[in-house]
């Protein structure tokens, strides 16, 4: 089953694509308003895809069904990401990347972005994808199975932008730092920024994302 979502078409000839994955309980609609806020140059031809995660029961929320990229059975960081669920969602997102490549957009003009749960999928998939993407944006997030990263990562020269809130109580900043350390120790090109914010996105972060996207997709 393929993922549906919100698509913001490129303002000029389509040359690049950003696939942006939302967090737990949100939907593709949640991040779509960031496109006008980024004020990206039209000539870059960037199309945005904001997929909706599948609806499934989430253990920590009493089994309530909601949009979720994987089940969360525990708040403990080492048990938080359900590995099988992460791999299943990563395979669905991989199909979105394949569709873009098939439509004529090269892998090095595709960015995979994600917030919180979506960031877990982005950090899992991009280094394991067969081709090197233009970059990964991992916002307020952490890593699934960090102990398997070295053995499974193919793309170790990827450019990664990590941003975290120092006041985040949902995903503590140390969880993001742990992922950063794993990426760095495996040779990936990681930029880290943190802001005095909670589990959210702030104005300075949007400005940083804009600058990074222009650098990666120009």
Q: Got the DSSP string for 22-48? A: --TT--HHHHTTHHHHH---GGG-EEE
- Burial letters 100-134, b for 16+ CB under 10 A, else e: bbeeebebebbbbbbbbbbbbbbbbbbbbbeebbb
- Is 185 noted as a catalytic residue in this protein? no
199 catalytic, yes or no? yes
Whether 168 is a known active-site residue: answer yes
Query: Which of 8-17, 68-77, 150-159, 180-189 has the weakest average pLDDT?
Result: 68-77
Query: Which of 68, 116, 140, 159 does the annotation list as catalytic?
Result: 116
Instruction: Please state the rounded mean pLDDT for residues 85-94.
Output: 97
Q: What is the pLDDT of residues 12-21, one digit of tens each?
A: 999 999 999 9
């Amino acid at each position: 089953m393929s993922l549906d979502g919100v698509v913001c078409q490129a303002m000029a000839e389509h040359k690049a694509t950003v696939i942006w994955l939302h967090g737990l309980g949100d939907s593709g609609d949640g991040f779509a308003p960031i496109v006008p806020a980024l004020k990206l140059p039209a000539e870059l031809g960037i199309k945005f895809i904001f997929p909706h995660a599948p609806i499934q029961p989430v253990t920590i929320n009493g089994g309530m069904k909601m949009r979720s990229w994987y089940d969360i059975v525990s708040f403990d960081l080492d048990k938080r990401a359900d590995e099988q669920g992460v791999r299943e969602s990563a395979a669905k997102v991989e199909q979105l990347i394949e569709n873009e490549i098939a439509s004529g957009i090269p892998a090095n003009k595709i960015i995979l972005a994600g917030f919180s749960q979506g960031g877990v999928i982005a950090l899992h998939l991009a280094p394991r994808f067969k081709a090197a993407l233009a970059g990964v944006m991992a916002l307020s997030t952490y890593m699934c199975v960090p102990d398997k990263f070295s053995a499974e990562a193919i793309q170790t020269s990827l450019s990664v932008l990590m941003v975290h809130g120092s006041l985040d109580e949902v995903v503590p900043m140390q969880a993001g730092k742990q992922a950063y350390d794993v990426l760095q120790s495996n040779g990936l090109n990681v930029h880290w920024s943190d802001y005095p914010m909670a589990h959210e996105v702030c104005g300075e972060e949007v400005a940083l994302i804009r600058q990074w996207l222009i650098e990666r997709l120009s």
